[in-house]
């Protein structure tokens, strides 16, 4: 038995099971390693809190037992976790939901949907309760940064599963994790560091290359500092891109199935003289090119972080929200607080060579989830589904492709020179969503159960159900079906197959282009 499994078995053996019909408050009596149960109360059926990042609208939560606890695996740790246990209809499974941004709060709103499906659910604040955005809590607290980086999610998994066993009298038969943004980073971190924690993992729009992602944020901030592109010009840019490249997938519908196939040149929008509402100045053209091309090391020319794709510049929740706005806040907090520990750090001083290297060395080992070696997760029977919107202005979807390709390359040539016969698609699939913004929203087929509170729960239309089918029935998802509103007519429903990378959806040439059945998944010219 692996050491980690043996330790878990000993932990669970030390906890006397309680009968599920006993009062929820009985859970206050159990003892857990370096963890204190602070509350265990019955909660009647009622409205749930607002949902978290990318997790849809709030629902009515069924009656459940709510347990709150604090784990202190280090002297400076204060990891708050919450567990929701259905008082009836438990499906025998455990689901942990991730966080967003720099965390600091428990994603309570994402519990209602899984509870309604019979899951025992848990979440954590990642080890701090700082309400303001940023990483001020990390200054002088390296253990808290470790908690945020990876330890809090793992600790929550261990302690929450023990609570599940104590309440129901048996272990969960299956364990799943789902998260988007930082929650997506947490998802990949679990697959890499703790491959036995979960049977199935959903990683949405993962911020897994944390140090380089925030470098990309500062890159964009610098690019727009002197020559900003007004939000009013974003529709002009998007319209020009779509006009040139929309038909590449066989149908003109306002969506680019794969923006990498588009060779739009921002110079085509250059003002003939001065400035105008329907054109770009030379400085704006240069800034736009920098955003599209991504951050580079000025000394070596090496790509530090990929650029942001074209074709969704004006979608709701897109560039106007993130570039540079929220990106600046996150980029400045990473370098100013987590790396240099200077509250007055100036983004204009960032050296994209030496400072990036320093940040990688200091914070990267704790925050980055970029290890391509997923063999332990695979060999443990784990299944991983990753998704990312092509219209994500927060985290470039190209970074998800970059990570997937790194896994494929690693398996293709192991450190000892051997080649694996396993194709990543045997246990790991990536779905890219045309038009979708960060974790959801935007335009196009952006609803496929990516919000854990989604109403549709069949495996074709719900990513969690698709993961269950893959883990429990070995039915790998050949596609997902996303739904939304047609771009050119919001009164019409749009459905579209979401294909596992490197495939994309191609119009069959006949039938309503708003109907998924009229598209087929196939490789395109940009697929490797």
Residues making up the chain, counted from first to last: 528
State yes or no: is 490 an active-site residue. no
In 390-487, beta strands by DSSP E: 428-433, 480-485
Mark residue 366 as left, alpha or beta (left: phi above 0; alpha: psi -120 to 50; beta: remaining): alpha
| Number of CB atoms found within 10 A of residue 397's CB | 24
299 touches 353 (CB < 8 A):
yes
Across the range 249-254, mean pLDDT stands at: 90
Across the range 38-47, mean pLDDT stands at: 94
Position 55 scores a pLDDT of: 45
What are the tens digits of pLDDT across the range 440-491?
999 999 999 997 667 688 999 999 999 999 999 999 999 999 999 999 899 9
State yes or no: is 353 an active-site residue. no
Across the range 181-197, mean pLDDT stands at: 99
Helix axes 354-362, 210-225, angle to 10 degrees: 150
How far is residue 378's CA from residue 199's CA, in Å, rounded to a whole number?
A: 10
How far is residue 401's CA from residue 404's CA, in Å, rounded to a whole number?
A: 5
In 307-427, beta strands by DSSP E: 383-389
pLDDT category, 22, cuts 50, 70, 90?
A: low
Across the range 154-172, mean pLDDT stands at: 98
State yes or no: is 34 an active-site residue. no
Position 57 scores a pLDDT of: 58
Q: Which of 64, 154, 438, 461 is catalytic?
A: 438
The DSSP element (H or E) to which 464 belongs, if any, is: helix 463-473
Q: How far apart are the first and last CA of the chain?
A: 40
For the ranges 46-50, 167-171, 224-228, the lowest mean pLDDT is seen at 46-50
The DSSP code sequence of 257-313 is S-GGG----GGGGB-SSS--TTSB-HHHHHHHHHHHHEEE-TTT--EEEE-PPSS-T
Mean pLDDT, all residues of the chain: 92
112 touches 453 (CB < 8 A):
yes
Position 58 scores a pLDDT of: 60
What are the tens digits of pLDDT across the range 270-312?
999 889 999 999 999 999 999 999 999 999 999 999 999 999 9
What are the tens digits of pLDDT across the range 373-425?
999 999 999 999 999 999 999 999 999 999 999 999 999 887 777 777 778 99
pLDDT category, 13, cuts 50, 70, 90?
A: very low
- Say whether the peptide bond before residue 218 is cis (omega within 30 degrees of 0): no
Q: Which of 157, 181, 396, 400 is catalytic?
A: 181
- Stronger pLDDT, 54 or 255, i.e. the higher one: 255
- 229 φ, ψ to 5°? -100, 110
With a cut of 50, say whether residue 85 has pLDDT above it. yes
Q: How far is CA 289 from CA 98, 219, 237, 265, 269, in A?
A: 34, 12, 12, 8, 12
Across the range 203-219, mean pLDDT stands at: 98
Position 109 scores a pLDDT of: 85
With a cut of 70, say whether residue 16 has pLDDT above it. no
Give the 3-state secondary structure percentages of the chain, helix then strand then coil, rounded to 5: 35, 20, 45
What are the tens digits of pLDDT across the range 322-378?
998 999 999 999 999 999 998 889 999 999 999 999 999 999 999 999 999 999 999
Across the range 25-52, mean pLDDT stands at: 90
With a cut of 50, say whether residue 15 has pLDDT above it. no
Position 223 scores a pLDDT of: 97
3-state SS assignment for residue 441:
coil
3-state SS assignment for residue 245:
helix
Largest CA distance in the chain: 78
Place of tokens 């991730």: 98
Q: Which of 125, 147, 246, 392 is catalytic?
A: 392
Say how far residue 75 (Cα) sits from the centre of its chain. 30
| Number of CB atoms found within 10 A of residue 343's CB | 12
Position 414 scores a pLDDT of: 76
The DSSP code sequence of 167-222 is HHSS--SEEEEEEETHHHHHHHHHHHH-TTS-SEEEEES---SHHHHHHHHHHHHH
Position 54 scores a pLDDT of: 44
- Stronger pLDDT, 421 or 55, i.e. the higher one: 421
The DSSP code sequence of 287-303 is HHHHHHHEEE-TTT--E
What residues pair up with 79 in beta bridges, in sequence order? 71
For the ranges 20-24, 117-121, 431-435, the lowest mean pLDDT is seen at 20-24
How far is residue 143's CA from residue 132's CA, in Å, rounded to a whole number?
A: 20
pLDDT category, 494, cuts 50, 70, 90?
A: very high
pLDDT category, 527, cuts 50, 70, 90?
A: very low
Position 60 scores a pLDDT of: 83
Position 116 scores a pLDDT of: 93
pLDDT category, 4, cuts 50, 70, 90?
A: very low
């Amino acid at each position: 038995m692996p050491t980690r499994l043996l330790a878990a078995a000993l932990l669970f053996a030390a906890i006397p099971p309680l009968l599920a019909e006993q009062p929820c408050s009985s859970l206050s009596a159990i003892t857990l390693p370096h963890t204190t149960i602070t509350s265990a109360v019955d909660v009647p059926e009622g409205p749930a809190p607002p949902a978290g990042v990318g997790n849809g609208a709030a629902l009515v939560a069924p009656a459940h037992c709510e347990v709150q606890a604090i784990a202190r695996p280090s002297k400076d740790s204060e990891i708050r976790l919450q567990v929701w246990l259905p008082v009836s209809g438990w499906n025998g499974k455990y689901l942990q939901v991730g966080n967003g941004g720099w965390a600091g709060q428990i994603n309570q709103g994402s519990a209602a949907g899984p509870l309604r499906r019979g899951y025992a659910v848990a979440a954590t604040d990642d080890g701090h309760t700082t309400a303001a955005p940023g990483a001020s809590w990390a200054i002088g607290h390296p253990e808290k940064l470790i908690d945020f980086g990876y330890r809090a999610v793992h600790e929550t998994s261990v302690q929450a599963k023990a609570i599940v066993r104590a309440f129901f009298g048996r272990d969960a038969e299956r364990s799943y994790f789902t998260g988007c943004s930082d929650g997506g980073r947490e998802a990949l971190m679990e697959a890499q560091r703790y491959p036995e924690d979960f049977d199935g993992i959903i990683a949405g729009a993962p911020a897994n290359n944390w140090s380089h992602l925030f470098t990309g944020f500062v890159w964009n901030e610098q690019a727009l500092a002197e020559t900003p592109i007004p939000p009013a010009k974003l529709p002009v840019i998007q319209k020009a891109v779509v006009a040139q490249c929309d038909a590449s997938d066989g149908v003109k519908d306002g969506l680019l199935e794969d923006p990498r196939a588009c060779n739009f040149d921002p110079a085509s929008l250059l003002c003939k003289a001065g400035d105008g509402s329907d054109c770009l100045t030379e400085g704006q053209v240069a800034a736009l090119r920098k955003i599209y091309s991504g951050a580079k090391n000025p000394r070596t020319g090496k790509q530090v972080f990929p650029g942001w794709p074209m074709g969704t510049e004006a979608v709701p929740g897109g560039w106007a929200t993130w570039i540079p706005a929220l990106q600046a806040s996150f980029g400045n907090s990473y370098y100013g607080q987590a790396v240099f520990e200077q509250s007055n750090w100036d983004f204009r001083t960032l050296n994209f060579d030496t400072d990036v290297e320093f940040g990688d060395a200091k914070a990267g080992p704790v925050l980055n989830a970029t290890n391509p070696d997923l063999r332990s997760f695979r060999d443990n029977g784990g299944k991983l589904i990753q998704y990312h919107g092509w219209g994500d202005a927060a985290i470039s979807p190209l970074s998800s492709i970059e990570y997937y390709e790194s896994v494929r390359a690693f398996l293709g040539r192991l450190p000892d020179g051997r080649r694996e016969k396993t194709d990543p698609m045997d246990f790991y699939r990536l779905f890219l969503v045309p038009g979708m913004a960060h974790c959801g929203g935007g335009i196009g087929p952006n609803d496929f159960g990516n919000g854990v509170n989604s109403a549709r729960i069949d495996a074709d239309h719900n990513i969690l159900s698709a993961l269950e089918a893959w883990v429990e029935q070995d039915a790998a998802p050949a596609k997902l079906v996303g739904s939304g509103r047609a771009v050119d007519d919001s009164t019409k429903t749009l459905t579209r197959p979401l294909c596992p990378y490197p495939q994309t959806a191609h119009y069959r040439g006949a039938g309503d282009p708003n109907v998924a059945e009229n598209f087929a998944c196939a490789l395109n010219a940009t697929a490797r």
